[in-house]
Amino acid sequence: MKRRVAILISGRGSNMAALIKAAAAPDFPAEIALVISNRTEAAGLEKARAGGVPTLVIESKPFGKDRVAFEAVLQSALDQHGIELICLGGFMRLFTAEFTRAWYGRMLNIHPSLLPSFPGLDPHGQALRAGVKLSGATVHFVIPETDAGPIVMQGAVPVSDHDTADTLSERILEVEHRIYPEALRLLATGRVRIEGDVCRTAGSGGSENFLISPVVGSGAE
Protein backbone atom coordinates (compact mmCIF):
# COMPACT_ATOMS: atom_id res chain seq x y z
CA MET A 1 0.00 0.00 0.00
CA LYS A 2 1.15 3.52 -0.75
CA ARG A 3 2.13 5.72 2.18
CA ARG A 4 -0.17 8.70 2.72
CA VAL A 5 1.73 12.00 2.55
CA ALA A 6 0.80 15.55 3.48
CA ILE A 7 2.73 18.47 2.01
CA LEU A 8 2.84 21.68 4.05
CA ILE A 9 3.29 24.92 2.13
CA SER A 10 3.17 28.69 2.62
CA GLY A 11 3.79 29.99 -0.90
CA ARG A 12 4.07 28.97 -4.53
CA GLY A 13 4.55 25.26 -3.89
CA SER A 14 7.33 24.59 -6.40
CA ASN A 15 8.64 21.48 -4.64
CA MET A 16 5.07 20.47 -3.85
CA ALA A 17 4.34 20.37 -7.59
CA ALA A 18 7.41 18.19 -8.19
CA LEU A 19 6.27 15.75 -5.50
CA ILE A 20 2.72 15.60 -6.87
CA LYS A 21 4.05 14.92 -10.38
CA ALA A 22 6.34 12.15 -9.15
CA ALA A 23 3.61 10.55 -7.04
CA ALA A 24 1.34 10.34 -10.08
CA ALA A 25 3.48 7.48 -11.41
CA PRO A 26 1.81 4.11 -10.78
CA ASP A 27 4.94 2.64 -9.21
CA PHE A 28 5.59 5.53 -6.80
CA PRO A 29 5.33 4.18 -3.23
CA ALA A 30 3.51 7.20 -1.76
CA GLU A 31 0.41 9.22 -2.54
CA ILE A 32 0.01 12.92 -1.89
CA ALA A 33 -3.18 12.74 0.15
CA LEU A 34 -3.34 16.34 1.35
CA VAL A 35 -1.77 19.77 0.89
CA ILE A 36 -2.02 22.11 3.87
CA SER A 37 -1.19 25.81 3.80
CA ASN A 38 -0.97 28.26 6.68
CA ARG A 39 -1.77 31.09 4.26
CA THR A 40 -5.05 31.39 2.34
CA GLU A 41 -3.32 33.25 -0.49
CA ALA A 42 -0.61 30.64 -1.08
CA ALA A 43 -0.31 30.14 -4.84
CA GLY A 44 0.50 26.46 -4.35
CA LEU A 45 -3.07 25.71 -3.28
CA GLU A 46 -4.40 26.20 -6.80
CA LYS A 47 -1.59 24.05 -8.21
CA ALA A 48 -2.51 21.26 -5.79
CA ARG A 49 -6.19 21.44 -6.70
CA ALA A 50 -5.28 21.36 -10.39
CA GLY A 51 -3.36 18.19 -9.66
CA GLY A 52 -6.37 16.62 -8.01
CA VAL A 53 -5.00 16.81 -4.48
CA PRO A 54 -7.28 17.81 -1.57
CA THR A 55 -6.24 21.06 0.11
CA LEU A 56 -6.77 22.60 3.50
CA VAL A 57 -5.97 26.04 4.91
CA ILE A 58 -5.12 26.45 8.58
CA GLU A 59 -4.37 30.14 8.91
CA SER A 60 -1.52 30.67 11.35
CA LYS A 61 -2.03 34.40 11.94
CA PRO A 62 -4.96 33.98 14.37
CA PHE A 63 -2.76 31.79 16.56
CA GLY A 64 -0.05 34.43 16.86
CA LYS A 65 2.88 32.97 18.78
CA ASP A 66 0.83 30.10 20.21
CA ARG A 67 2.50 27.33 18.26
CA VAL A 68 1.02 24.61 20.49
CA ALA A 69 -2.56 25.63 19.63
CA PHE A 70 -1.77 25.81 15.91
CA GLU A 71 -0.13 22.40 15.97
CA ALA A 72 -3.10 20.87 17.77
CA VAL A 73 -5.35 21.88 14.87
CA LEU A 74 -2.74 20.73 12.36
CA GLN A 75 -2.33 17.36 14.07
CA SER A 76 -6.10 16.86 14.10
CA ALA A 77 -6.21 17.42 10.34
CA LEU A 78 -3.32 15.02 9.78
CA ASP A 79 -5.08 12.37 11.88
CA GLN A 80 -8.39 12.85 10.07
CA HIS A 81 -6.71 12.24 6.72
CA GLY A 82 -4.65 9.27 7.90
CA ILE A 83 -1.34 10.96 7.14
CA GLU A 84 1.77 8.84 7.66
CA LEU A 85 4.52 11.10 6.30
CA ILE A 86 4.99 14.88 6.02
CA CYS A 87 6.98 16.83 3.44
CA LEU A 88 7.63 20.51 4.08
CA GLY A 89 7.61 22.58 0.91
CA GLY A 90 8.46 26.14 1.87
CA PHE A 91 6.39 26.02 5.04
CA MET A 92 7.24 29.26 6.81
CA ARG A 93 6.33 28.45 10.37
CA LEU A 94 8.50 26.95 13.10
CA PHE A 95 7.38 23.86 14.98
CA THR A 96 7.66 23.13 18.67
CA ALA A 97 10.15 20.51 19.79
CA GLU A 98 7.24 18.31 20.85
CA PHE A 99 5.71 18.29 17.36
CA THR A 100 9.00 17.53 15.61
CA ARG A 101 9.75 14.72 18.04
CA ALA A 102 6.31 13.22 17.48
CA TRP A 103 7.03 13.11 13.74
CA TYR A 104 10.72 12.26 13.98
CA GLY A 105 11.76 10.01 11.11
CA ARG A 106 8.51 10.75 9.28
CA MET A 107 8.86 14.45 8.38
CA LEU A 108 11.14 15.69 5.60
CA ASN A 109 12.32 19.16 4.67
CA ILE A 110 14.38 20.48 1.76
CA HIS A 111 16.90 23.30 2.15
CA PRO A 112 18.76 25.04 -0.71
CA SER A 113 22.31 24.48 0.46
CA LEU A 114 24.66 21.59 1.12
CA LEU A 115 23.98 21.26 4.81
CA PRO A 116 25.46 21.60 7.34
CA SER A 117 26.80 24.61 5.42
CA PHE A 118 24.60 27.71 5.20
CA PRO A 119 21.51 26.84 7.24
CA GLY A 120 18.75 29.36 7.88
CA LEU A 121 17.95 32.42 5.80
CA ASP A 122 19.63 33.56 2.58
CA PRO A 123 21.58 30.35 1.87
CA HIS A 124 22.43 31.45 -1.68
CA GLY A 125 23.84 34.74 -0.47
CA GLN A 126 25.77 32.92 2.23
CA ALA A 127 27.28 30.57 -0.37
CA LEU A 128 28.31 33.41 -2.67
CA ARG A 129 29.84 35.41 0.16
CA ALA A 130 31.82 32.35 1.27
CA GLY A 131 33.15 31.83 -2.25
CA VAL A 132 32.29 28.13 -2.41
CA LYS A 133 32.68 26.32 -5.72
CA LEU A 134 29.76 23.95 -5.13
CA SER A 135 26.36 24.56 -3.64
CA GLY A 136 23.12 22.63 -3.84
CA ALA A 137 20.17 21.27 -1.93
CA THR A 138 19.64 18.90 0.97
CA VAL A 139 16.68 16.74 1.96
CA HIS A 140 16.79 16.04 5.68
CA PHE A 141 14.65 14.84 8.54
CA VAL A 142 13.17 17.58 10.69
CA ILE A 143 14.37 17.98 14.27
CA PRO A 144 13.86 20.82 16.77
CA GLU A 145 17.04 22.58 15.58
CA THR A 146 16.66 24.45 12.28
CA ASP A 147 18.11 22.73 9.19
CA ALA A 148 20.01 20.28 11.33
CA GLY A 149 18.33 16.87 11.00
CA PRO A 150 19.86 13.68 9.54
CA ILE A 151 20.58 14.08 5.83
CA VAL A 152 18.68 11.80 3.45
CA MET A 153 19.90 13.06 0.08
CA GLN A 154 21.87 15.93 -1.45
CA GLY A 155 22.33 17.36 -4.92
CA ALA A 156 25.08 19.74 -6.00
CA VAL A 157 25.64 22.37 -8.69
CA PRO A 158 28.77 24.34 -9.58
CA VAL A 159 28.96 27.97 -8.50
CA SER A 160 30.16 30.43 -11.12
CA ASP A 161 32.07 33.62 -10.44
CA HIS A 162 29.29 35.35 -12.35
CA ASP A 163 26.46 33.92 -10.27
CA THR A 164 23.96 36.02 -8.39
CA ALA A 165 21.68 34.73 -5.68
CA ASP A 166 18.90 34.52 -8.28
CA THR A 167 20.84 32.57 -10.91
CA LEU A 168 22.20 30.17 -8.31
CA SER A 169 18.73 29.72 -6.87
CA GLU A 170 17.32 28.80 -10.29
CA ARG A 171 19.88 26.04 -10.86
CA ILE A 172 19.53 24.67 -7.35
CA LEU A 173 15.75 24.59 -7.71
CA GLU A 174 16.14 22.16 -10.61
CA VAL A 175 18.09 19.85 -8.32
CA GLU A 176 15.53 20.24 -5.54
CA HIS A 177 12.84 18.98 -7.90
CA ARG A 178 14.93 15.89 -8.63
CA ILE A 179 16.07 14.86 -5.19
CA TYR A 180 12.95 15.56 -3.10
CA PRO A 181 10.80 12.94 -4.87
CA GLU A 182 13.66 10.45 -4.72
CA ALA A 183 14.17 11.04 -1.01
CA LEU A 184 10.45 10.52 -0.42
CA ARG A 185 10.61 7.33 -2.47
CA LEU A 186 13.39 6.01 -0.24
CA LEU A 187 11.51 6.88 2.93
CA ALA A 188 8.20 5.45 1.70
CA THR A 189 9.82 2.14 0.76
CA GLY A 190 11.48 1.79 4.16
CA ARG A 191 15.00 2.01 2.77
CA VAL A 192 16.04 4.81 5.11
CA ARG A 193 17.15 4.29 8.68
CA ILE A 194 18.55 6.71 11.23
CA GLU A 195 21.62 5.73 13.23
CA GLY A 196 22.30 8.36 15.84
CA ASP A 197 22.52 11.63 13.92
CA VAL A 198 23.23 9.98 10.57
CA CYS A 199 20.86 8.65 7.92
CA ARG A 200 21.68 5.37 6.18
CA THR A 201 20.13 4.12 2.94
CA ALA A 202 19.68 0.36 2.68
CA GLY A 203 21.16 -1.21 -0.42
CA SER A 204 22.60 1.98 -1.86
CA GLY A 205 26.20 1.58 -0.80
CA GLY A 206 26.04 5.32 -0.21
CA SER A 207 25.80 6.15 -3.91
CA GLU A 208 22.25 7.49 -3.73
CA ASN A 209 22.96 9.85 -0.86
CA PHE A 210 24.87 12.31 -3.01
CA LEU A 211 23.95 13.40 -6.49
CA ILE A 212 26.27 15.63 -8.47
CA SER A 213 24.17 17.48 -10.98
CA PRO A 214 26.18 19.98 -13.01
CA VAL A 215 24.10 22.07 -15.37
CA VAL A 216 25.19 22.50 -18.98
CA GLY A 217 25.63 26.14 -19.84
CA SER A 218 25.79 27.22 -16.22
CA GLY A 219 28.78 29.42 -16.89
CA ALA A 220 30.95 27.63 -14.35
CA GLU A 221 34.58 28.09 -15.10
**Chain segment 111-141, per-residue pLDDT in tens:** 999 999 999 999 999 999 999 999 999 999 9
Distance CA 199, CA 139 (A): 11
Whole-structure pTM value: 0.91
pLDDT of amino acid 75:
98
- Residue 6: strand, helix, or coil: strand
- Does residue 111 carry a catalytic annotation? yes
Distance CA 218, CA 168 (A): 9
3-state SS track over 91-108: CCCCCCHHHHHHCCCCEE
**Chain segment 135-175, per-residue pLDDT in tens:** 999 999 999 999 999 999 999 999 999 999 999 999 999 99
- Out of 81, 111, 162, 177, the active site residue is 111
**Of 116, 109, 132, 134, residue with least CA distance to 184:** 109
CB 33 within 8 A of CB 60: no
pLDDT of amino acid 219:
39
Average pLDDT of the segment spanning 170-199: 96
What confidence category does residue 27 fall into, taking pLDDT thresholds of 50, 70 and 90?
very high
What's phi and psi for 144, nearest 5 deg?
-55, -35
**Chain segment 34-70, per-residue pLDDT in tens:** 999 999 999 999 999 999 999 999 999 999 999 999 9
